[in-house]
Every structure is written in structure tokens, then in C-alpha cells.
Amino acid sequence: MKRKVGIIGAGHVGSDVAFSLVTQGICDEIVIIDKIEAKAESEALELRDMASMTRSYTTITANNWEALSDTDIIVMAVGPETLLREDRMEELVETSRSVTEIVPKILATGFKGIFVNITNPCDVITMLIQKVSGFDHSRVFGTGTSLDTARMRRVVGEALHINPKSIEGYVLGEHGESQFVAWSTVKIGGVNITDYKTKTPLDLPALKDAVRGGGWNILTGKGWTSFGIATATAGIVDALLTDAKQVFPLAVFSEQTNTYIGQPALIGANGVLDTIKPPLTKEEQTNFEHSAEVIRKAFDLL
């Protein structure tokens, strides 16, 4: 049985997702599509050039919409023309127009798999994909705060001089300005960060700012961000294809807020199996509800 993934958008993010999938041997076949066909063709050709050096073989094709019909997963990685924007919400008009055109073309192929959205603003665009496709909420979700959570673990790990893999916890809410670190969930070896012994007290507000500003620092330095989100997406795709039943902080539908928003979710071969609601402090719950309102208002603009 083929493990087949479609990637819509061959920009920095889409191409790095493809690179991650190929180098990690996560799938058997990738279909790359971009409105600039020569770009998708070039990315596919370079990925095929790697075939003799990767640990497993991956078939790569480009710009074949009909080939999406039997894909297990479609990764939406459409980006805006202008990359250097501080607020992801500024991309909404452009990316929503693109997605509204693309999703019907995908459905016309007979696609019945799972949508994984990266396109920003992630939570709002994920809601749009679900609405346009009519798919069940379990089969449409976004990368949400997966990258933000990884940044939090990196920031906390560097502050404590600990491998970020040893940091537990989540960034929740919008993948954007209203996101927040749920410090009540952040632990090291089962010990909450506020109780963890350090030589000097941790400045949690400063760490929070470092987490939220991480993407902007990368963006202003190199012009785009792609390695982190591509790696996060590859892990999500792997969990779906292997029915891993693994928890990720994703943009999933919340009945509580009636919107897509970043929170822990259990995923497997059939998509989202369950959403997990970690106990939050009163302040964190307020932040979560505020973030949901930001997302909902942006969606209403569409």
C-alpha cells in the first residue's frame, strides 16, 4: 500500500516539507503542485537527484492534479507573495483567496484523505478549508502551535542548559500574536517550571517574549522560516501514516470555542481522534478564550 502525500505550494515551506519527508523515508510517493509549474518541476527534479543517497526510495511527481485523487494526506503550504509580515493575519486576504480556489480543484480529483494545513493565518485558513471542503473536523486540521511549542522548549532548554527534548508542555491558542505559553503545563522531569530549582529565578515573561519573537527574528534575518515547521509537519505526517496515536499541539476544532485553535490533539490514521484539554489556570483560560475570539473575528471577515 502506497503512503502517498500531496503538497500544495512549492515555496520554502512546501519544498522543505518534501525534503524532510524524503530524507526521513516517511512516505513512498509525493505529488508537488505549485502555481509556478517550473518551480514545482525543479523541486521534484532535485528531490529525485537525492534518490541514490536516501535510506528509502520516494517517487516524486509534479503538477499532476489527478495524482492527488488517492493521496492519504494533502499538506496545504500555500504562501503569500510578500513574506516579510510581522502579523500572520496580514496574509489572510491573499491566502484565503488562494485556498478557496485550490480546495475545489482538489475535491474534483476525488480526494478523500486528510488535510494538514500550514498556510497562514493557520487557524483561520484551517477553518476555511473545512468549510469549503465539507470534510469532517477530524479530517481537517492545521499545524497550529506545534512550531511555537518547539520554540518554547528550545527557549526554556537554553535558559536551563537542558536538552529541549526534556522540556514538556505547550504553547496554546492562535499560531500568531494571541498565542500564549501555558506555563502550568511546562515541566522538567515531571516538575513544574515554577518549582524547578535554578541558581537564579527564571524570567517567565522574558521567556514568553523570546518564544513569540523567535519566528520574527528568523524572518528578518533570512527572509523566511521553514526548517522548524517542515520538521514539525513531517512528524505529523508520519504519525498519520503509521497510525501512531500520538499527541501534538495542533489547530483543531474546539466545540468549547466553536473555532479552530491550537491545543493538544491525539491523531492517528483517521485524523484527529480526540482533543485534550489540559487543566489551565484562570489566567490561561482567559488567554485561551481571547485567542479564540481573535481567530473567530478574523474568520468572520471572510
C-alpha 207/C-alpha 219 separation (Å) is: 19
Tens-digit pLDDT profile for residues 55-103:
999 999 999 999 999 999 999 999 887 655 555 567 898 999 999 999 9
Check 137, 161, 175, 290 and give the catalytic one.
Answer: 175
Tens-digit pLDDT profile for residues 211-255:
988 888 888 888 888 999 999 999 999 999 999 999 999 999 999
Sequence-distant (6+) residues with CB within 8 A of 261 are 123, 144, 172, 173, 174, 251, 252, 254, 288, 291, 292, 295
Is residue 175 part of the annotated active site? The answer reads: yes
pTM for this entry: 0.95
pLDDT at 1: 57
Q: Residue 302 — pLDDT band, cuts 50, 70, 90?
A: confident
Q: How far is CA 67 from the centre of its chain?
A: 23
Task: At 284, list the grid cell.
Answer: 490561561
pLDDT at 86: 56
- Average pLDDT for the chain: 95
pLDDT above 70 coverage of the chain, percent: 97
Beta pairing class for 114-117 and 59-62 = unpaired
pLDDT at 87: 57
Question: What secondary structure does DSSP assign to 254-292, as a single string?
Answer: ETTTTEEEEEEEEEETTEEEEE------HHHHHHHHHHH
pLDDT above 90 coverage of the chain, percent: 88
C-alpha 207/C-alpha 193 separation (Å) is: 12
